[in-house]
Amino acid sequence: MSKSLIELKNVTMKFGGVTALSDVTFDVKEKEILGLIGPNGAGKTTVFNVITGVYQITSGEIIFDGQSLAGVKRYKITKRGVARTFQNIRLWGDMTALENVMTAADTHKKSGLVSGLFGFPISRREEKRDKARAQELLDFIGIGEYSDRLAKNLPYGVQRRLEIARAMGAEPKLLLLDEPAAGFNPAEKVELAATIRKIRDAGYTVLLIEHDMSLVMKVSDRVVVLDFGQKIADDSPRKVQDDPRVIEAYLGVPEDAS
């Protein structure tokens, strides 16, 4: 088994009296696609939020690439190699698709405001390099032709894909996809599944939240199931599908069976 890229150890997240995550432990291995599923309100997006530093966890530990993420600023977590997409699309609408990706790519630039102002060679070089890379990413994700369009004017499906391209712009080791197939039709979902596998094959590790079971089961190497903030299963897609606790969480149990 390859080594873990990120490990959540006994992570608990409380908001006042509400426990959103309770003692959750799992890891994502390098070059793996891990599906994270669970009924509404199970705490899936909270997992993303604690990994990316939106919330500071109440207790437990998150180790990314050998180092703890406790107290690390959000943009620095991104710089270390975690980038995410958003469930409700949050692109920068007044920027073009290309600029959206370039902004994320700026994360790793050495040149900043001053060298940009005076046009130092390093700034020009990085600008040129990142522009080319951003276009490559758009092509890779299959929306290259939209690069000069403002994000807010793009069709819905393209916006969803641009979210992924933008996150990849930040050169993450771990890519967090929050319901990338929301609102997609079956044909688009099949396409997306292929894209996600293509992303993994390009060397990224993917943590995927998705409601569509067939998609998750098709692309994931492993599936973690959350229910009411607790991990109830962590196994291969096949075994998870047959796990009685998972079926119970999703379908409920008949009253006379308990």
Question: CB of 185: closest distance to another protein in angstroms?
Answer: 26
Nearest-approach distance from CB 170 to another protein, in angstroms:
5
In the complex with another protein, the residue whose CB is nearer, 155 or 186, is 155
Nearer to another protein, 54 or 70 (CB): 54
Nearest to 173 by CA among 102, 82, 86, 107: 82
Q: How far is the CB of 22 from another protein (least distance, A)?
A: 24
Residue with smaller CB distance to another protein, 148 or 201: 148
For residues 25 and 111, which CB has a smaller minimum distance to another protein in the complex?
A: 111
Shortest separation between residue 123's beta carbon and another protein, angstroms: 7
Quote the radius of gyration of the chain (alpha carbons, Å).
19
Closest CB to another protein among 165 and 193? 165
The minimum distance between CB 72 and another protein, in angstroms, equals 12
Which residues fall within 8 angstroms of residue 44, CB to CB, at 6 or more apart? Answer: 36, 37, 38, 178, 209, 226
Q: How far is the CB of 38 from another protein (least distance, A)?
A: 22
Number of C-alpha atoms within 13 angstroms, CB side, residue 55? 20
- Residues of the shown chain interacting with another protein in the complex, contacts defined by CB under 8 A: 52, 54, 74-75, 78-79, 83-84, 86, 90-96, 99, 102-104, 106-109, 111-113, 116-117, 119, 123, 127, 147-150, 153, 166-167, 169-170
Give the integer Cα–Cα distance in Å for 118 and 170.
25
C-beta of 179 vs 212, nearer to another protein: 179
